[in-house]
Amino acid sequence: MNSPQASYTMETTTSRRKFLQSSSALLLGAAASTSQVSRAQQYVANPIEQDYWPLVRSKFAFSEASVPMNAANLCPSFRAVAETVEMLTYDIDRDCSFNNRAKFEGLLERSRYLVAEQLNVSADE
């Protein structure tokens, strides 16, 4: 049986999984545009083998000599995601004021909307 104190502690502690889930939603939403997503969906719906996989491969920055393997549900980020993370990290590192951080609220809401749209759910879910 869980005590009220134990459940309170569990709610305030963020696991790595929860952190990665929340941050990946933000980053993916920031990096994805509707046109890129719809283009990718067209390829998935109608894949042309010779065009599809080179398109997917071009989205990653790892070298041809590397063979990325899935390890603990972490894999290479899309090039656009990595570039966006770098840009946003630099922005916050340069100016971490409340005014500068406030601009991310709109980005967060847009990211939630885009992810929800891809999952065919509402942004509140």
Domain ranges of the chain: 16-119
Task: Answer whether 0.75 is exceeded by the pTM.
Answer: no
- 120, with CB counted inside 10 A (0-12, 13-18, 19+), is exposed
For residue range 65-124, list pLDDT tens digits in order: 877 776 677 778 889 999 999 999 999 999 999 999 898 899 889 989 999 999 999 888
- pLDDT on residue 117: 92
| pLDDT category of residue 18 using cuts at 50, 70 and 90 | low
Average pLDDT score over residue span 25-34: 58
Question: Would you say 109 and 123 are in contact if contact means Cβ atoms under 8 Å apart?
Answer: yes
Name the percent of the chain lying above pLDDT 90.
26
- Cα 30 to Cα 3, 8, 9, 43, 98: the distances in Å are 40, 32, 31, 22, 20
In sequence order, what are the residues at sequence separation of 6 or more whose Cβ sits closer than 8 angstroms to the Cβ of residue 64?
A: none
d(CA 89, CA 103): 13
Residue matched to tokens 């869980």: 2
* Cα(32)–Cα(52) distance, integer angstroms: 18
- Kindly report, residue by residue over 47-64, the tens digit of the pLDDT: 566 778 888 888 888 888
